[in-house]
Every structure is written in structure tokens, then in C-alpha cells.
Amino acid sequence: MRIQATIEEKLQALEPAYLAVENESHRHAVPPNSETHFKVTLVSARFEGLMPVKRHQQIYAVLADELSGPVHALALHLYTPSEWEASGHSRPDSPNCQGANES
């Protein structure tokens, strides 16, 4: 199973109202077709009342195997449903990595 698909499957445990897992490896200095850098946008009522660090800890616990192995970087954008609504259903863009493969 691809790493991205594994991440998507495991994050279902957090009962997302919205989930997007983006492979951003191509934006970094890694070999083609790598699965090492991901951006996760996840909206869940389970984040209600939790500070950002507690939300992140939930993700780290669910993805412990991936983070100790193939995943080098994980950008997290975690929202409650009301925060997601207030954001206009948008999250920040990732910056380009210095030294990334230019295409």
C-alpha cells in the first residue's frame, strides 16, 4: 500500500469531516516518486476544546509508524468544523523547499 493511502486510512480513526493528504515530496530535494513529505488538512469535531499541540499529538500517535520510518516531514493543518468554516475552507500554502527539484 502506498504511504499516502496508509496515512489516509489511519486518519479515519479521527472521524474527519474533511481530510486531504497531499504528497509534497516533489517540492523537495528527494528522488522522483518519493513519499516522504506530506501536508495533512483534517477537520474533526474531536479537536473541539483541544489546543493545537494536543491535536498534533493525536496525529503523531496515529501515524507513529510512518513518522518513525518513511515520512520525513508532515505539515499539519487541523481544524474543528467551526474553525474550518471560519477559514473559508482554506489552509495555508506550503513554501517551496530551498534546493528542491525545479520543474
Of 26, 48, 51, which Cα lies nearest the Cα of 37?
26
Complete edge-to-edge strand list for the sheet that includes strand 18-23: 18-23, 37-43, 73-79
Q: What is the mean pLDDT of each run of 10 residues along the chain (103 residues)?
A: 91 98 76 77 98 97 93 92 94 70 48
List strand residue ranges (DSSP E) for 24-100, in order.
37-43, 73-79
**Position 92 in a domain:** no
Q: Do 29 and 100 touch, CB atoms closer than 8 A?
A: yes
**Residue 103: what pLDDT?**
46
Q: How many domains does the chain have?
A: 1
**Residue 73: what pLDDT?**
84
**Residue 76: what pLDDT?**
96
**Residue 99: what pLDDT?**
59
Q: Do 54 and 16 touch, CB atoms closer than 8 A?
A: no
What is the C-alpha to C-alpha distance for residues 3 and 76, in angstroms, rounded to an integer?
16
**Residue 29: what pLDDT?**
67
What is the C-alpha to C-alpha distance for residues 51 and 88, in angstroms, rounded to an integer?
21
**Position 99 in a domain:** no
- What is the domain-level CATH number for residue 49? 3.30.300.90
The grid coordinates listed for 85 are 468554516
**pTM metric for this prediction:** 0.84
What is the C-alpha to C-alpha distance for residues 91 and 93, in angstroms, rounded to an integer?
7
In terms of residue numbers, what domain contains 18? 3-28+36-86
